[in-house]
Amino acid sequence: MRINLLFFATVCVGVAIAPNAEAQRAKCADFAFQEEAQVFMQTRGANYLDRDNDGVACERLPRRGTPKSKPSPPPAVRSPRTEAPSDRQSQFVVLSVGDGDTLKVQASPTNMTVRLACVDAPERAQAPWGQAASERLKQILPIGQVVQLREVDRDRYGRTVAEVWVNGQSINLQMVQEGMAVIYPKYFHNCAATQGQYRQAEAIAKQQGIGIWNPNNPLLTMPWQFRSASLGLFGDRFSYVVYANRGNIAAVGTHQTGG
C-alpha cells in the first residue's frame, strides 16, 4: 500500500513540474512577437520572461502588426579633408614667391616659408621651365594675396610643407593642371584625400602637351632627379657653381637647392 501511494505521489509531482521545466527552457529569442511570449508566460508560469515584474513578458520584442526594428547603422566615418580649412588661423598673406613651389607668407611671430606639398616644380636652373613655373606661381599668388594653408609636414630646411588654397581652389593642384609642376612621388602620401585628382590632372596635362609636357620642348629631367645629380656633384645643401675661362676660375657662386 505504501509503495502504491509513493508511486502515485511521484507521478503527480512529475506532472506538476513538467510544464515548469519546459518553461524554463524558453527564452525571449524563441518568440517572434511579444504577444506569443505573453501567452506562454501566462499559461506556463514562465514569470522569468517578465524581468521587471510589470506583468509584460519580453517587452523588447515587436508587437504584431509592427515591423521588427532594423539594426542601427554603423556610425558614419569622416572622410579626410578634401577642402580648404575654414578657420581664420589658417589664413595668411603672401609676401613673396620664390621658385615654382615655394612662397613666403606673413605669420606671427615671424614670417613663414611654405613649400607646396605633394608636388615638385622645376628648379630655376632647368631652363626655361624653372623660370616659367616661378612666374606662373607669382601670377596666381601676387603679393598681398590671402591664402589658406593645410600644413602636412616640416622639411629638413624648417619650411612648412602645406597645401595652399585660394577661394577653395588648390594651388598645388592648379600648378599640376597647368603643367608647371609634377606629382612628387616621395611625398605624395601627404595628399591622400586628393591623390586621384592629382593623378588625373597630371595625365591630362601630359596628354595635351601643356607646360613641361610640351613635346617640342619637354622637361627632360624631373626636379628631384636634377637636385639629386646636383647634390651628388656639389654637396648636400648648396651647389657651388664654378665658371671657368680657359682653365682659370672666373667666378664662384652658391645656389640653394629647393627640394
Q: So which residues are the catalytic ones?
A: 115, 123, 159
SS3 letters for 4-50?
HHHHHHHHHHHHHHHHHHHHHCCCHHHCCCHHHHHHHHHHHCCHHHC
> Which residues sit opposite 252 in a β-bridge?
242
**Are 190 and 117 within 8 A, CB to CB?**
yes
Query: What distance lies between CA 8 and its chain's CA centroid?
Result: 78
**Are 189 and 117 within 8 A, CB to CB?**
no
Q: Looking at the chain, which runs of residues are DSSP E strands?
A: 91-97, 102-106, 112-116, 119-120, 146-154, 160-166, 169-170, 182-183, 238-245, 248-256
Instruction: Characterize the bridge pairing of strands 91-97 and 146-154.
Output: antiparallel
Q: Is the peptide bond before 128 cis (omega within 30 degrees of 0)?
A: yes
Rounded-to-integer distance, Cα 94 and Cα 92, Å: 7
Which residues have CB under 8 Å from 129's CB, separation 6+?
A: 122, 180, 211, 212, 219
Rounded-to-integer distance, Cα 126 and Cα 123, Å: 5
